[in-house]
Structure 1
């Protein structure tokens, strides 16, 4: 399976981060990926990468700890670092004063939804989609309206049109929670697709909230388009973070970004929301965005190799699995329906093959018979995982 050349896909001075750690190294970790299952299980599920931290991040954290700089966060360093990063990578920068620091992306989503919707209002999502979208929205007292992706894993304008009509029936406010790039399919939305989203949102008076946490993880052959950079997006929002691209989930910090017409709404976000992020998180994320570009490019090259490797492994060992290589993220969405393993193949692969994957039904409509596989690991672990999955059959 060939992919077009990307300007960022050339050689880098940084070694492939996915080839740096052994399985013994990884099993010393105490995070959920490595503690949720017994040691004989290969964990290719939750969104943690099997990589060491980027050296600029290690250096920034080490210096902060040596200084005892572990107090409360303050200032605009994170927003400035993000703006410089987005300008370099995508030719777009958030508006001055149009950002607010939040504890993490999902809590930021919740706070933004509070600003533009009320209890009982609808939030549109595109299943199969990141499972926490459902409980976070419902716990907030909003109702989910689904606009499923097409068979090609892309946004379906007709499904969006129908969902937006249902969401706003009776004149109620509504929001659209856009996953960009899309998790679990790895689809990277095009500018034309996002402009159509903005047109439909304007027609129905719907506020778009884009979860762009995977935005730096777009692989060779595709380009991320920030939602707020497209025509018609001025009253939308984005949630951004360095946590996925640099493996910083345990160092909490993220930014809510408003379009020009939404800045007044963002200004209403309660001040206490800014108390949630970690000062060390802000330091780590800022260092990653400012100085972690070479490390990120090496990671993207490694992920590109792994998505190709996975295609070959599945063709050889599990030809019944349908796999469309992701354009972004480090997640693979595998259609296992032809294997006859029922709605939840992940349960079979875990019990018989000792490989932990995410169950497809958790991702909503369209998830039955699928699994999500995290390919941000070494080629050796990925190869062994597919071998075990095949043996489970």
Structure 2
């Protein structure tokens, strides 16, 4: 989404104080003690967008808390996609409601792969890709990102070729935009991906949960809009852009040549989303655009602020501005994070969670450790900058006072 023009709404990231945030009972604010500033899990420090809150209040006042049904969510997403991405190809008849994006990914992978088949991912990548895929008895095969944190098409082709020579089925689980790097894939990159996937008989499943959170300077491209994506899938949700993770609802969409596969999804999957979740997500997509515009302006400001703060307080930390999401991928390998052996031996490199553990222990700032994102993540941390400028400033200043 492009933030065309200035929003008339206040910055949603500046509406809650630290004391107010500490009253929350969600994972972000209950995992660590009160002296820790939590910039880890992907929750935003915002109030609900007013149209979403109003829709939920109406439903609760009416006792409308039954089972989910219907296509209102898909229709809202189709209208949003047409308005914000100039994509009119989201066909409501080729969609299915699913509990959340990761459960939707698992259900789609079950349709197009068998136990033991390979699922290719671009590491470092969203940690649950590994857990959910392997739990369902598929094997994760990494195709690492390039040094520029973009898809390395040559490596991807080599990976596809190697897997297909094994004679097993394969799928490619794409993070679009990419988590944790914030890379927004271009039309050219995604077209090349589709060509490779078709050449090697690999089915693409695109996780597009951060799609509405593309920041100024980049453009989101729905994977199903690119040439050659006709047999692919996308799984999308309003949860990240409007902070609705606790209100479960997502949408699986199929390209025209994948419609028959999607039709095989078990009917009981549609009972997983929350009815209130569908109401909230639909309201966000239909009526929350102005709030989203204000949010993106705030995230864009925080993105720049983070760069300034790091340059001042942690100049040895590598930071490439993300093009989308509210997640920053920080390279801490030059900080020299070390521990000392208790026996008095030579200094040794800290455990895999070294930088994140250092900042938690010494700065009381919680970040996500890079090692959980797979190969290429060691020595990195992921920082969530969807918070107030005040909290972000305090966190980086604390981090800057820490030395290994």
Which TM-score band (shorter chain)?
Answer: over 0.9
In 2, Cα distance between the equivalents of 1:170 and 1:360? 31
Shift of 1:10: 2.3
Give 1:77-88 correspondences, 5 Å limit. 77-88=72-83
Q: Decide which of 48, 58, 61 is 1:63's aligned counterpart.
A: 58
Which runs of at least 4 in structure 1 moved beyond 6 Å after TM superposition?
Answer: none
Matched, 1:346 2:342: no
Matched, 1:196 2:192: yes
In the alignment, what sits opposite 1:46? 41
Aligned partner of residue 310 in structure 1, secondary structure: helix
Checking the alignment, whether the CA contact within 8 Å between 1:123 and 1:167 is kept in structure 2 is: no
In the alignment, what sits opposite 2:21? 26
Checking the alignment, whether the CA contact within 8 Å between 1:9 and 1:301 is kept in structure 2 is: no
**CA pair 96-68 structure 1, distance change in 2 beyond 3 A:** closer
Q: Decide which of 368, 372, 380 is 1:370's aligned counterpart.
A: 380
In 2, Cα distance between the equivalents of 1:376 and 1:53? 14
In 1, Cα distance between the equivalents of 2:9 and 2:247? 23
In the alignment, what sits opposite 2:114? 118
Q: Decide which of 283, 301, 307 is 1:311's aligned counterpart.
A: 307
Unpaired runs of 5+ residues, structure 1, are 1-5
After superposition, the C-alpha distances for 1:110-148 in whole angstroms (9 at most, x for unaligned) are 000000000000000000000000010001101111100
In the alignment, what sits opposite 2:127? 131
Shift of 1:7: 5.3
Give 1:236-251 correspondences, 5 Å limit. 236-251=232-247
Matched, 1:11 2:6: yes
Shift of 1:168: 1.8
Shift of 1:11: 1.1
Q: How many residues align?
A: 388
Shift of 1:96: 3.7
Aligned partner of residue 97 in structure 1, secondary structure: helix
Checking the alignment, whether the CA contact within 8 Å between 1:9 and 1:300 is kept in structure 2 is: no
TM value normalised by structure 1: 0.98
Unpaired runs of 5+ residues, structure 2, are 338-349
Shift of 1:392: 1.7
TM value normalised by structure 2: 0.95
In the alignment, what sits opposite 1:3? none
Matched, 1:150 2:146: yes
Checking the alignment, whether the CA contact within 8 Å between 2:370 and 2:381 is kept in structure 1 is: yes
Checking the alignment, whether the CA contact within 8 Å between 1:187 and 1:326 is kept in structure 2 is: yes
In 1, Cα distance between the equivalents of 2:91 and 2:55? 27
In the alignment, what sits opposite 1:187? 183
In 1, Cα distance between the equivalents of 2:92 and 2:109? 22
Q: Decide which of 156, 173, 176 is 1:177's aligned counterpart.
A: 173
In the alignment, what sits opposite 1:392? 402
Q: Decide which of 205, 222, 225 is 1:226's aligned counterpart.
A: 222
In 1, Cα distance between the equivalents of 2:205 and 2:2? 30
CA RMSD of superposed structures (Å): 0.9
Give 1:245-284 correspondences, 5 Å limit. 245-284=241-280
Shift of 1:9: 4.3
Checking the alignment, whether the CA contact within 8 Å between 1:188 and 1:222 is kept in structure 2 is: yes
Aligned partner of residue 93 in structure 2, secondary structure: coil
In 2, Cα distance between the equivalents of 1:261 and 1:366? 35
In 2, Cα distance between the equivalents of 1:381 and 1:162? 44
In 1, Cα distance between the equivalents of 2:2 and 2:24? 35
